[in-house]
Amino acid sequence: MSAHPLLDALLRHLDTQGDTVENLQRRLTAFRALGPENGGDGEMPKARQIAELLGGPGSPFTLRWCNAPDARVSCGERPNLIAHLPGREARTLWLFAHTDVVPAGPDASWTSDPWSVRREGDLLYGRGVEDNQQGLVSMLLLAAALRAALDAGAERPPLGLGLVFMADEECGNLKGLQHVLEQAGELFRPDDFYIVPDSGSPDGSEVEVAEKHVLWLRVRTSGRQCHASQPQCGVNAFVAGAAAVLACAGLTEDFPQTDALFQPPCSTFVPTRHEGGADSINILPGDDCFYVDCRLLPDVTPESVLAAARARTADVARRFGVEITVDIHHHQAASVTPQNSPVVGALAGAVAAVYGVEARPVGIGGATVAALLRRQGLPAVVWSRLLNTCHQPDEHSSIAATIGDAKVFAHVLCRC
């Protein structure tokens, strides 16, 4: 007899769930769970469907709603659902998925209806099937497998299982995980395991343990407007702003530090959004504004970058006779989970057992909800086996990977 009968039962159950993955994806995609910022009415119908799947008579899970008020949606709330099943030990494996999706974009850019899942072999196509429904469905598969095993007389797993289904991830998390942590933070313990299946690599080898600072700079240039036929009467803020763009792009020279954990291994400084300028072609613009997206290594401080940007643009201001101000438009602090955290080792062992690859810790420049957990002192990692088609036309996910990821979580849950 196997030394891990519960794990064996979970894996056998998961091996039979290919059609279940397709059916769940079809049901969830049809809800069009868009937040109000994206022209939708929120996630409540989708969240209620998830609650029906997890609850009901005989369910071993305790369900708790932690909804955030939001007058912009018809039901007045953004849903956050927490499901928990105690284990034999005090610690819990927590898995997190968001229920909202992004708009599909023009229908013409899709091969088929983005809100009606299309299957081609192992792949399912539709908006949200990867972001974040692959992780979400993996969580539901594990919950169903665990319920079936317990109904058949299996003992509870060593770790408890906690499932968090969040709203508002695509538009800032204020109504989602941030609200959950504010209202139900007592549920989450520093020695629990935290996995966010919302980013990853096609082979499953990347375990995200760190994120860079996210810093957005706003650079405003003030000159003097005049008629374009008399440029000597004004000061062209657009031209000076263009020089400021190049100056800010040069911030890479001021911060040459590298860290091999990240890809790219350096801080990045990318001028992006542009505002201001003249309303007519025959007006010399007196105002200009642009933004710089900065992704900073954890040991590069936002304050030092702001000071360097101000020094660089001050030189531009002197050369062009304009006034330039630089301020912070948005900042999210860097976050790091130590590479020797128990969750990192447990996940690496599970990935090797299921996928036969060696998992390695990585850092990213993007921002995930793991940062919110890390700021609470909770050792979160971000992992999944993803094809990375999120937010694209013809977004798709793998049925095999959805099942495989559930198996990885089963291994961690059983600590095998």
Residue among 345, 362, 360, 363 at smallest CA distance from 412: 345
Please give the Cα distance from 307 to 397 (Å, whole number).
44
Which tokens belong to 325? Answer: 């101000």
Residues 254-280 have pLDDT tens digits of 999 999 999 999 999 999 999 988 889
Residues 6+ apart with CB under 8 A from 254: 308, 312
CA distances from 167 to 67, 177, 209, 220, 314 (A): 9, 7, 23, 34, 43
3-state secondary structure the chain: CCCCHHHHHHHHHHCCCHHHHHHHHHHHHCCCCECHHHCCCCCHHHHHHHHHHHCCCCCCCEEEECCEECCCCCCCEECCEEEEECCCCCCEEEEEEECCECCCCCHHHCCCCCCCCEEECCEEECCCCCCCHHHHHHHHHHHHHHHHHHHCCCCCCCCEEEEEEECCHHHCCCCCHHHHHHHHHHHCCCCCEEEECCCCECCCCEEEEEECEEEEEEEEEECECEECCCHHHCECHHHHHHHHHHHHHCHHHHCCCECCCECCCECEEEEEEEEECCCCCCEECCEEEEEEEEEECCCCCHHHHHHHHHHHHHHHHHHHCCEEEEEEEEEECCEECCCCCHHHHHHHHHHHHHHCCCCEEEEECCCCCHHHHHHCCCCEEECCECCCCCCCCCCEEEHHHHHHHHHHHHHHHHCC
Distance CA 410, CA 404 (A): 10
pLDDT reported for residue 138: 98
What was the pLDDT predicted at 278? 87
pTM of the model: 0.90
Could you write out the DSSP letters of every residue in 48-112? HHHHHHH-STT-SPEEEE--EE-TTSTTSEE--EEEEE--SSS-EEEEEEE--B-----GGGSSS
Q: What is the pLDDT along the chain (416 residues), one digit of tens a residue?
A: 356 899 999 999 999 999 999 999 999 999 999 999 999 999 999 999 999 999 989 999 999 999 999 999 999 999 999 999 999 999 999 999 999 999 999 999 999 999 999 999 999 999 999 999 999 999 999 999 999 999 999 999 999 999 999 999 999 899 999 999 999 999 999 999 999 999 999 999 999 999 999 999 999 999 999 999 999 999 999 999 999 999 999 999 999 999 999 999 999 999 999 998 888 999 999 999 999 999 999 999 999 999 999 999 999 999 999 999 999 999 999 999 999 999 999 999 999 999 999 999 999 998 899 999 999 999 999 999 999 999 999 999 999 999 999 999 999 999 86
Residue 229 and residue 91: Cα distance in Å, rounded?
73
- CATH code 3.30.70.360 for 213-332: yes
Q: Quick one: pLDDT at residue 107?
A: 94
Cα–Cα dist 42/77, whole Å: 8
Residue 123 token pair: 């792949």
Q: Assess contact for 199 and 382: CB atoms under 8 A.
A: yes
* CATH 3.40.630.10 domain locations along the chain: 5-210+335-414
- The CATH 3.30.70.360 portion of the chain extends over 213-332
153: its two tokens: 């007389």
What per-residue confidence (pLDDT) applies to 1?
39
| CATH tag, 5-210+335-414 | 3.40.630.10
